[in-house]
Structure 1
């Protein structure tokens, strides 16, 4: 790269650590402060005129300003912006960690870990929203997870700062179709609840392995977001209520950050599951190796380009009767769709969280849990008959009882046979005795004596 290897006579570019829709991220070294940093190189698409290049420049500096306004452990720190080689470069904190998408490619994640990741992402988004900044591109590949468990939200490349003008141009990033909330898919302006929907879709993907609207191509994902309900998460478990609340279609009915935090905390603090019993040789099974993600021509989880026509380099979204930077309410009762009342979240009226009634799992029915387990588990016996030796004793006892029963039945049959023979012999002897005693009587009657 020649002289471009040393940016601003200070940052030495060493190696590429990632590529995305907005550019390339380098691992670099700050020779002035003697520390490692990350440098994001903004790659400009070919064929842009001066006005379009100016829009991309403005968006790059907006990303740097938005990140620099945030001071939170869940957000990457921006150190500097350098303009060199006819493009801007953003110097950031170097976080060497896999993304949540990398972890998902290795296999499913346990509920407690998903809840902990969601808590840290929620804290970072709440901090950004308090500063008037919307991320607008929350997805697993923009979430880094360190070995120490720190969760870092990256890539504010399409962030929206309250009060700033909206940049509209062909080729500009609008988000990732598989993680775009329904109101954004309909062309409406993003609100804080939009980031919360994307958070719910990210947690959904952590449990199911894919987003609720992931399809083979970007247009299919957008069509699903516009018309299809969110399919129930089969592996939601104790996180089902959080997913139902964050993935509500209407922002006014969506769970707020304050309502989601205690539910995530409750799952994150659950006791770890008991270790599985040791496997015996007869119980051992061969597990299938996890298959990698299939290569697709167009990944619906990738950031795509805005198909809208150029409406000028910049335009102000000013709505009559509303303060700048704040969208008008779509609710007929004139409620702000960005926030909900700080009460327990309830499903939208007339609708249930799932398309079909769902039987609450045992952990939601403490009164019925014992009965449920008693019906499924056989009674456990304690004592000498619980082990292999007890099973042998049981078989011998059954054998002895069976033999005794057979002997008793045989004795009864023999006794009945002997009694029957005796009764028959007595019956035959009785008629003979009667005839002999009657003969003298008949003789005396004939002689008249």
Structure 2
């Protein structure tokens, strides 16, 4: 496919969205109704005669993905529209999700418990529907979770999903999943079970709450896979302020080595539902550009927002935020920066530097490490250090 291609007199290709190891995805517009869709088609290299079996397996897997998408129906899974052929290559047409991956969201925001609960409930509900349809996703990770500008959550990419009815063994590929999010039984290639998807969800929730994956190689010589098999992750209560104990237990439970010891989708939903915002609650303060609480606080506004939003940033809220004393406002941050700069100029260097370091910690806690306000405070701290003759290293 190329930009401008007309696919079966129904879709016009607009742009390439992604190029993966097994497939290409394009954004297209449907002529009838001007609806945006995603067209997915297998990616092929230059196959020799000996590689024909590889090509056949890829086509079989692609056809299987289309059949699985057609039988799963859930508000947090993109709708399947149709499948067909374009220039001799198969394609799948499905719902276009206007938003960003969870990984991109986490680069800008440090979610609080309420945002984690909103995302976790949505993903767990999608997984429950998937498992009830006799399908295992097998690749839950931040890149396969999409967030819309209206705060809705979608589980995407069923490219390596596995049907558990019929003869699933013929579709099994060894070593499936993504390093950092694979369950022990996937690493050992012993079996595929629904609890493997829940282990991956546990890794995602751990990342959202702590800012890091449960296992990495920075603290020792063991590989990430070895740690998944043998190590117990640090408790979240040691690195997340005011975390309810039941959330710590839930996430660590999802990361149990034995899949039979992990909570079910219903267990996850039951625990996280207790931490969801209720309809009519005010917007969180500080707010993020993508508000994961919106579908729960104001479902109708979330749906309208999704229909109308086309830019990279959410519109300004229609009502004033309810200011909460334990959250930093932009105004208070700016006031404290001005005060520290005045202290530095008048010779109170130590006090200015100390105040700015505290402010940076508080801003990271409230807004996340990569939010624009955090960058503002970080730059102001560097400026104060420069004024006092102690620049940041």
Taking structure 2 as the reference length, the TM-score comes to 0.66
Q: Give 1:232's aligned residue.
A: 235
User: 1:301-355: per-residue Cα shift (whole Å, max 9, x none)?
Assistant: xxxxxxxxxxxxxxxxxxxxxxxxxxxxxxxxxxxxxxxxxxxxxxxxxxxxxxx
Distance 1:150 1:3 in 2: 28
User: Per the alignment, in what secondary structure is the counterpart of residue 74 of structure 2?
Assistant: coil
Match of 1:65 in 2: 67
In 2, are the aligned partners of 1:179 and 1:213 still within 8 Å (CA)?
Answer: no
Shift of 1:189: 1.6
* Superposition pairs of residues 127-146 of structure 1, within 5 angstroms: 127-146=129-148
Please tell me whether residue 262 in structure 1 is matched to residue 267 in structure 2.
Answer: no
**8 Å CA contact 2:39, 2:91 repeated in 1:** yes
Task: Report the number of matched residues.
Answer: 289
Q: 1:47-126 counterparts in 2 under 5 A?
A: 47=47, 49-126=51-128
Number of the residue aligned with 2:169: 166
Match of 2:260 in 1: 252
Secondary structure in structure 2 of the residue aligned to 1:41: strand
* Shift, 1:33, TM fit: 4.7
Query: Do residues 197 (structure 1) and 199 (structure 2) align?
Result: yes
Mapped to 2, the partners of 1:32 and 1:143 lie a distance apart of: 29
Q: Assess, with a 3 A threshold, how the Cα gap between structure 1 residues 235 and 177 changes in structure 2: closer, same or farther.
A: same
Contact 1:81 / 1:88 at 8 angstroms: preserved in 2?
yes
In structure 2, how many angstroms separate the alpha carbons of the residues matched to 1:222 and 1:142? 20
Contact 2:114 2:275 in 1 (8 A): yes
Q: Relative to structure 1, is the Cα distance of residues 32 and 213 closer, same or farther in structure 2, using a 3 angstrom cutoff?
A: same
Gap regions ≥5 residues in structure 2: 286-323, 341-354, 371-393
**CA distance 1:267–1:68, shift in 2 (3 Å):** same
Offset at 1:214? 4.0
Change (3 A) 1:28 1:173: farther
Q: How far did residue 55 of structure 1 move?
A: 0.8
List, as ranges, runs of 4+ consecutive aligned residues in structure 1 with deviation greater than 4 Å: 1-4, 167-170, 270-273, 277-284, 288-292
2: CA distance, partners of 1:144 / 1:169: 26
Partner of residue 338, structure 1: none
Q: Deviations over 1:200-234 (max 9, x none)?
A: 11111112233213448xx9322322232223332
Larger of the two Rg values belongs to structure: 1
TM superposition shift of 1:64: 1.1
Alpha-carbon distance change, 169 to 68 in structure 1, aligned in 2, over 3 angstroms: closer
* Structure 1 unmatched runs, 5+: 293-449
